[in-house]
Amino acid sequence: MLIKVLIVAALVAILASLAFGMVFLIKDKGTTQRTAKALTVRIALSVTLFGLLMLGIITGHIKPHGIYPAGHPASQPASAPAE
């Protein structure tokens, strides 16, 4: 459960950093480095999120699956057409 909380926290932090970057871009009009720093933080958080996802999959806390759950008609293999 902890890994899932960390993933959600990383997503929220990424969105916050993106919002700060937008505000700094509009407010500073390119006169400071705050926009670049905010976007650099966002990239670092995105890499951290990717690492957390991989850690969750490796440890078994997150189980990847396809688009359709098991038993759904679209997940069944197509049968050969009758001749």
The answer on pLDDT for 80 being more than 60 is: no
Q: Is residue 26 included in any domain, yes or no?
A: yes
What does the block give as tokens for 47? 């890499």
pLDDT range class, residue 76, cuts 50, 70, 90: low
Burial class (CB in 10 A: 0-12, 13-18, 19+), 5: exposed
Q: Is residue 17 included in any domain, yes or no?
A: yes
CA–CA gap between residue 7 and residue 34 (Å, rounded):
25
> What pLDDT, on the 0 to 100 scale, is given for residue 64?
81
Q: Is residue 70 included in any domain, yes or no?
A: no
Q: Range of 43's domain?
A: 2-63
Q: Is residue 27 included in any domain, yes or no?
A: yes
| Contact (Cβ atoms closer than 8 angstroms) between residue 38 and residue 20 | yes
> What pLDDT, on the 0 to 100 scale, is given for residue 50?
93
CA–CA gap between residue 78 and residue 76 (Å, rounded):
6
pLDDT, tens only, 14-72? 999 999 988 888 888 778 888 889 889 999 999 999 998 898 889 988 888 777 766 77
> What pLDDT, on the 0 to 100 scale, is given for residue 83?
60
